[in-house]
Amino acid sequence: MKILLVEDDDFIGESIKEYLEMQGNKVDYFSSPTKALETIYPSHYDIFLLDINMPEINGYEFYEELKNYTSDVPVIFITAYSDIDHVEKAFKLGAADYIKKPFELKELELRIKRLVFKNTNRIKITDNYSFDLGKLKLFYNDEEVELTQNERYFLEILVKNIGQVVDMSTLRDYVWEGKDICDNTIRTQVKKLRSKLKENFIKNVRGSGYKIEKNG
């Protein structure tokens, strides 16, 4: 997951960045909101973490600028303000969440995970793996697994039919666009995909095809 963090307190900002990157995320951290606006491409992020009380421009104004470029990236405001007026203003602007300082870094991590699953089409495959049907991305916890285009399409059709067998003919039509490839070629591609996984959740149904079991 790629996260934009804007926080003028360097100690807090570096602590958040270090913690979230230990969880497998990519965090772009800026202590200056003006510098961030000059540097970033807002639509390239999965979530925004914005302090409210910052010099130059405050977090609300910064978010208004971001919305000129993208409106579908969720934002969590981080602040020492505790009065209800600031909470109300944040949500009126479109905030997905609001967390008050001081807070445990684990709490922030949990809030981020909740938002990501709420705002994407991620389907849980196992306790550790999920697949985003909107972006055709596989995640191990929050770390993206690099896939080829055919591997993305292969997982997409299996996830869309989770719990059911997808036969070889359907795979050939969907993944390889009906090209005349043999079953052994498909098996070889599946073997390569499995080599990238820490868990083998792709089940071979002999004589039929492949399936992913429902999680739980």
The residues spanned by each domain of the chain are 2-119, 122-212
Q: Look at 186 and 45; give whichever has higher pLDDT.
A: 186
Model pLDDT for residues 102-150, shown as the tens digit of each residue: 999 999 998 988 887 666 677 889 989 999 887 889 999 878 899 999 9
Q: Assign 154 a pLDDT band (cuts: 50, 70, 90).
A: very high
Among 6-10, 93-97, 115-119, 191-195, the least confident range:
115-119
Average pLDDT over residues 188-215: 93
Taking Cα atoms as reference points, which of 29, 111, 119 lies closest to residue 70? 119
For residue 212, how many other CB atoms are within 10 A of its CB? 22
What local confidence, expressed as pLDDT, does residue 205 receive? Answer: 94
Q: What kind of architecture, by CATH, is found in domain 122-212?
A: Orthogonal Bundle (1.10)
Longest dimension (CA), the chain: 65
Q: What is the mean pLDDT of the chain?
A: 89
Whole-prediction pTM value? 0.58
Note the CATH number of domain 2-119: 3.40.50.2300
What local confidence, expressed as pLDDT, does residue 173 receive? Answer: 87
Among 52-56, 89-93, 156-160, 174-178, the least confident range:
174-178
DSSP 57: S
Assess whether pLDDT exceeds 70 at residue 213.
yes
Distance CA 41, CA 31 (A): 17
Distance CA 204, CA 22 (A): 34
What local confidence, expressed as pLDDT, does residue 61 receive? Answer: 93
- The token pair at 114 is 């909740």
What local confidence, expressed as pLDDT, does residue 13 receive? Answer: 96
Residue 175 and residue 133 in contact, taking contact as beta carbons nearer than 8 Å: no
- The token pair at 162 is 């989770």
Between CA 30 and CA 40, with CA 36 as vertex, the angle to 5 degrees is 115
Distance CA 139, CA 143 (A): 5
Distance CA 108, CA 114 (A): 10
Model pLDDT for residues 6-53, shown as the tens digit of each residue: 999 999 999 999 999 998 888 999 999 999 988 877 657 888 999 999
Burial class (CB in 10 A: 0-12, 13-18, 19+), 49: buried
What local confidence, expressed as pLDDT, does residue 209 receive? Answer: 95
What local confidence, expressed as pLDDT, does residue 196 receive? Answer: 95
Distance CA 94, CA 119 (A): 13
What local confidence, expressed as pLDDT, does residue 18 receive? Answer: 96
